[in-house]
């Protein structure tokens, strides 16, 4: 097999030299079937893989339903009052201290926070991911900025 640095060199070779184009050694269907055989022989795959035939209309038992690889729809869950209050306290604590809380740290703090009686504050299904916490902080900051501007505009109108 020859390689060329420019397209012109390839054209010169094809026209001037005695160049014979050779067909591919294996056609694609044979290559795919060999690949399937290798996969079926491998140890990590317990299910047999089948090639869909365009000529036969038979249905095999291993055929997957259409859409099997699509992501499943996620369910939107509202935060309960306990979660909201915890996050608002963390947010306000960050404002007072001048150091914003990291969503990763808040997520970990949720897992270990306890009530005054020593019991866990949140159940496992109530834990929030850092992404959820970051989104909450963003929404809360927008709301508090809007409320702050509303109060300022009302004060300015009252002085006029």
pLDDT digits (tens, 9 = 90+) for 12-38: 777 777 777 666 565 677 778 888 888
Phi, psi (deg, nearest 5) at residue 126: -95, -5
Of residues 143, 148, 140, the one with CA closest to residue 83: 140
Answer whether 70's CB lies under 8 Å from 60's CB: no
Answer whether 102's CB lies under 8 Å from 53's CB: no
**What's the rounded mean pLDDT across residues 113-139?**
93
Query: For 97-100, which contacts have Cβ atoms below 8 Å and span 24 or more sequence positions?
Result: 100/137
Query: Residue ranges of the domains in the chain?
Result: 81-159
| Rounded-to-integer distance, Cα 38 and Cα 65, Å | 24
What pLDDT sits at residue 133? 95
The per-residue DSSP string of 32-91 comes to: HHHHHHHHHHSSS--SPP-PPPSS-----TTPPPTTTTSPPPPPP-PPPHHHHHHHHHHH
| Rounded-to-integer distance, Cα 73 and Cα 88, Å | 29
Q: What is the pTM of this model?
A: 0.51
Task: Identify the residue whose tokens are 């501007």.
Answer: 149
- Sign of the CA dihedral with 26 first, then 30, 31, and 35 last: negative
Residue 54 has pLDDT above 60, yes or no: no
What pLDDT sits at residue 4? 78
| Rounded-to-integer distance, Cα 55 and Cα 67, Å | 23
Q: 32 vs 1, which has greater pLDDT?
A: 32
DSSP state of 116: T
| Rounded-to-integer distance, Cα 18 and Cα 84, Å | 79
């Amino acid at each position: 097999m020859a390689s060329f640095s420019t397209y012109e060199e390839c054209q010169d070779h094809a026209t001037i030299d005695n160049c014979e184009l050779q067909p591919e050694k294996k056609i694609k269907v044979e290559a795919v079937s060999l690949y399937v055989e290798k996969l079926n022989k491998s140890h990590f795959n317990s299910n047999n893989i089948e090639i869909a035939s365009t000529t036969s209309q038979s249905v095999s038992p291993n055929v997957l339903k259409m859409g099997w690889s699509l992501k499943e729809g996620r369910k939107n869950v509202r935060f309960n009052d306990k979660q909201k209050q915890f996050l608002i306290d963390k947010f306000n604590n960050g404002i007072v201290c001048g150091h914003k809380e990291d969503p990763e740290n808040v997520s970990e703090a949720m897992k270990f926070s306890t009530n005054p009686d020593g019991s866990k504050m949140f159940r496992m299904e109530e834990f929030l991911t850092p992404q959820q916490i970051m989104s909450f902080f963003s929404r809360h900051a927008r709301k508090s900025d809007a409320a702050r501007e509303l109060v300022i505009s009302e004060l300015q109108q009252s002085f006029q």
